[in-house]
Structure 1
Amino acid sequence: MAALDIVKQYYNAFNEKNFEGMLALLHPEVRHEPNQGEVRVGIEKFTEFMKMMDDSYEETLTDMVFFTEPTDKRVSVEFVVNGIYKKGDEGFPEAHGQKYVLPAAAFLEITDEKISRVTTYYNLELWIKLVS
């Protein structure tokens, strides 16, 4: 399966809140490089991250634009995060259902037809301003 198809399936599963579908597309040693914080390696750590995110945020991605490269190993995607801040995270503003719209991007790598790296970027200062 082409890298682009795998990544599109991953983000479709994200928007459908189909976390099992997302996890099924990940390599066992997936490397998650978040915008800030420690790098996580492995499906178990990624699953913990997804549970925390699901508790604290309700997000849907729109305006997705995908970019591929000739080796079919990497895909990048630009999108808009449409979210609701449900539960506060330590060090961030208090949550009380604030809505936010935030541009973001991700870079994904494919190994053996599984997503082996997810790197995400967004403007954290802008997000804090939007929920404050």
Structure 2
Amino acid sequence: MSFDKTVGLLSRYYAAFNASDVDGMLQCVSEDVEHRVNEGGIRHGRAKFAEFCGHMGVSYREELKDLVILANMDGSRGAAEFVVHGEYLKTDPGLPEAKGQRYVLPAGGFFEIRGGKIVRITTFYNLNDWTRQVSA
């Protein structure tokens, strides 16, 4: 994989995210993708990732803005920085009650790429900042 192909892959992944196109996101990840989410566990496999995306689509409506995608020269690693503009739609267990609160949250993702697919996704954001925003 090359720098350009990795940037293209991550661009497609995030375009699918912003379009609420879970199938488009799933086309970008490997069958054995490892998904590491901030403040959470590790999900293994495309099916678990699809389940997570389905849950997120019910509980949150999000659009990523100010997206910057980076990659190393051989395309095996990538990263993205962005600002999440979201609305909290349905209460997530263990989190504050959802009442349609809006939030704006800086975040980022780190990726490992192999065989033209994303094999690892690691997402970071400040959960305390998000909780403060939806609790205000």
Whether these two folds match at TM > 0.5 is yes
Q: In the alignment, what sits opposite 1:81?
A: 84
| Aligned residue runs from structure 1 range 79-118, under 5 A | 79-118=82-121
Secondary structure class of the residue paired with 2:15: helix
**1:65: how far off?**
0.9
- Does structure 1 residue 8 correspond to structure 2 residue 11? yes
**1:17: how far off?**
1.1
Q: Which amino acid is the alignment partner of residue 88 of structure 2?
A: Y
Q: Which amino acid is the alignment partner of residue 51 of structure 1?
A: G
**1:91: how far off?**
1.1
| Aligned residue runs from structure 1 range 1-132, under 5 A | 2-132=5-135
**1:63: how far off?**
0.2
Q: Which amino acid is the alignment partner of residue 93 of structure 1?
A: P
Aligned length: 132
After the TM superposition, which segments of 4 or more aligned residues of structure 1 sit over 6 Å from their partners?
none
Report % sequence identity.
Answer: 45
**1:128: how far off?**
0.1
Unpaired runs of 5+ residues, structure 2, are none
Query: For residues 17-62 of structure 1, what are the alpha-carbon distances to aligned partners after superposition, in whole Å with 9 as ceiling and x for unaligned?
Result: 1111111111000000000111001001001100110110000000
TM-score, with structure 1 as normaliser: 0.97
Query: For residues 98-121 of structure 1, what are the alpha-carbon distances to aligned partners after superposition, in whole Å with 9 as ceiling and x for unaligned?
Result: 000000000011110011111000
Secondary structure class of the residue paired with 2:30: strand
**1:75: how far off?**
0.8
Distance 1:18 1:52 in 2: 13
Secondary structure class of the residue paired with 2:9: helix
Distance 1:80 1:123 in 2: 12
Unpaired runs of 5+ residues, structure 1, are none
Distance 1:104 1:31 in 2: 19
